[in-house]
A and B are shown apart, each in its own frame.
Chain A
Amino acid sequence: MIRSVRWKGAGFTAPFLIGFVFLFLVPIGYAIWQSLFLEQQSGLGLGGTTTQFVGLRNYGHGFTDSDFLGSVWRVFLFACVQVPVLLTISLLMALLLDSVTARAAARFRPILLVPYMIPGIVAAIVWVNLYSPLVGPLTPLGKALGFSWNFFAPAMVWPSIGNLLTWHGIGYQMLILYAALQAVPRELFDAAHVDGASELRLALSIKIPAVRPALVLTGMLSIIGMLQIFNEPMLFRHVTPQTVTAGFTPIMVIYNEAFNAGDYDYAAALSVILAAILGVASYLFYRFTSREIA
């Protein structure tokens, strides 16, 4: 009877397991399988293709592909700047929200969440239009103030994308950090006030260390997200293809290989390599940050 109850309980996870198997495990397995093959042609190439088993040749090609490795390095550098900026601003907003009364906080929270409620593609399209030197309002505004900024210039592309991502992601990060802050016992603050600590000292010495696990979590999610950005560069590429090349980010390289060059096998190998890189990066980040926690 107990065993049947256990099976019935496990049966409730069946929908998730079915989805997980068919939407994750099977495609990942198929991608790994596909990455071991290559389409080959012969002669003039006008007679169609045959599929050959080539083992790890695609992986060898991937690890020496300067386009792919360059794109990985590019997003890594971007993440090194973007993630701390995003976390700092989100933390600041969370701390500010925490230091006002609950009623005021409840009024501001939805407003800060509005950017996050907008779907990513829509946000990117809106910002691309704002940035447009010919039809957007920001460039004339800058001219009126005496600046001539071009958001699509090669040097400005990353700040433009970073601004868009920050605007979009602040609400979500801030909510997580704010919830973690709310969990800090209020008696600590009273004790600190009795000891004569200012609000700033309170924030630096008590609040921030208390939310470190949440910071690690949001940091790791941000890194994984940044290394996989695709929507925003693709939309920017539409308006400024001379600065955002076809292989600007790793996922764009994979997309290009699969759908423009038609080389599904090589794209599968690159996907596996990217997943491995992400896994290693997440693991290292987690080890590095959790070692410092007592």
Chain B
Amino acid sequence: MICANSSRISRTYRAAVALAVGVGLTISGCGSSKSSGGASGTAANPVVLDYWGWNNGQPAQVAAFNASHKDVQIKYVKTQGGDPTLQQLANAYKAGNEPCLVQGTAENLTTLVSQGELGDVTQWVAPHKAEFNPGAFSGAGVQGKIYAVPTSSAPAFTIYRTDIFQQYGLKPPATWDDFIADGEVLKQHGIDITNYAGEDPSTLVTLAMQAGAHWYTIDGDSWKVDFQDPASLKAAAVIQKIVEENLDSQISFADYAAVQRNYDNGGTVTRQISTWQMAGMVKNFTKSNGKWALSPWPAFAGDSSKTPAGTNQSAGLTLITSQCKAKAQAAEAALWLSTDLGAVKTMADPATGAGLMPALADPSQYVAESISAPLLGPDYQAAQKVVTDSIGTVATSWTFGPDWTAMYDELANGWAKVLTKQEKLTDLLAHMQQWTVADLKSRGINVEG
């Protein structure tokens, strides 16, 4: 009796094991192939490069690349963008299977280099330096080595409501002092001149850049950190005045619908933007299309107009990773995506792409396409000159430090407190000075200041 039982059990057991093995083999066969093909490929066995990105227009660019290249193919993976993609990249690095190409921005490049996640592609990209404008190219490397190919420039300017400015007899502000004066007039009528989102300290960063600050500099074998130089304090003074006099609305981008509705209703009347924000505005506006115009980014009194280098105002890059087994091909592919005229045109158009200004040395032919005619209405022609003029004024001497991502999060915390008037900007800058130096030291990085 026991023998009969055990043979019945063992038959079931054998069937279960067979099933488990069969399922396991099937699942492992479904695993995605990573960048394969070794260092060189042929038409029959092409090198496949994984590309993580999130911009509208990239699938079309990749399709065009794959159609025109036989020995290299790109496999596009749409990711979420922003911090989650950085986290995914860090996880992939730890697991040893980074994609070859990743979309990124200039502000995170140094951090990624210091975490070992990016590959040195100077030998393939440096010869093409003249094809890009200096502002965009300066974000593609650090300390003389290049780790990425620029995809977009960040011309920056003000967009403002023509009808409301006309109603109250205001001219578009040429300096930050004018900006504050205009804001005071609008305040009396219950209108805010600008919006400071509580989680987004990029306003402070861009104004400090514009004023000529250098929060991080390389001094030999050590970093020099200075958040409290006169330029930073000058930028802080402007923002502090705006916050203190309540000239700003404080709607977070997390409530995206509310932000756009506020602009549409005329609750806030200016915005410091680049070209790509216009697509979102025109898509979400119902009342104010045609009533906006561009004007140059306000200058500090007495300074030449100098718009900031790219922050999340999209000095976009295509990063090449350190674990990529085909760096030469990856660099070539990234260069093609950034310089091939068809690919660039696709990306520059707000409808087919993301409305990003290309990183090319002379992007002026794309200006008309990258700005929105419905949004700007009668100002469309004049706006093109504002954009073209601003391309050459992008700052090139800003360096992002190796703990920029962590520093930026800490800055965002303090920025929120500044907006709710629990802290002054000067105190925040002092805190960031002390915090950043301590943070770099705890990572074992040489730092003075």
Contacts and interface: CB of A to CB of B under 8 A. Distances in A.
A242 B417 contact: yes
Please classify the interface of chain A as helix (H, G, I), strand (E, B), loop, or mixed, using the class held by over half of its residues: loop
B80 interface: no
A245 B416 contact: yes
4 nearest A-B residue pairs (beta carbon): A48-B116, A242-B198, A241-B199, A242-B416
A47 B257 CA distance: 43
Contacts of A237: 199
A242 B250 contact: yes
A45 interface: yes
Interface in B239-255: 250-252, 254-255
Given A41-B443, A44-B143, A47-B116, 15 more contacts: A43-B445, A43-B446, A44-B222, A44-B446, A46-B113, A46-B402, A49-B115, A132-B255, A134-B255, A239-B254, A242-B417, A245-B417, A260-B83, A262-B90, A262-B115
Given A43-B446, A44-B223, A247 B413 contact: yes
Contacts of B440: 45
A256 B412 CA distance: 13
Contacts of A43: 221-222, 445-446
A246 B416 CA distance: 10
Contacts of A193: none
A245 B417 CA distance: 9
B88 to A, nearest CB: 10
B408 to A, nearest CB: 9
Nearest to B440: A45
Given A44-B222, A48-B116, A241 B255 contact: no
Contacts of B143: 44, 46
Contacts of A239: 252, 254-255
Contacts of B445: 41-45
A272 to B, nearest CB: 19
A262 B198 CA distance: 23
A278 B334 CA distance: 50
Contact of A41 (B87, B114, B222): B114
B356 to A, nearest CB: 26
Interface string A252-294: 0000100111100000000000000000000000000000000
Contacts of B405: 260-262
B417 A238 contact: no
A240 B419 CA distance: 12
Given A154-B420, A256-B409, A45 B402 contact: yes
Interface in B396-422: 402-403, 405-406, 409, 412-413, 416-417, 419-420
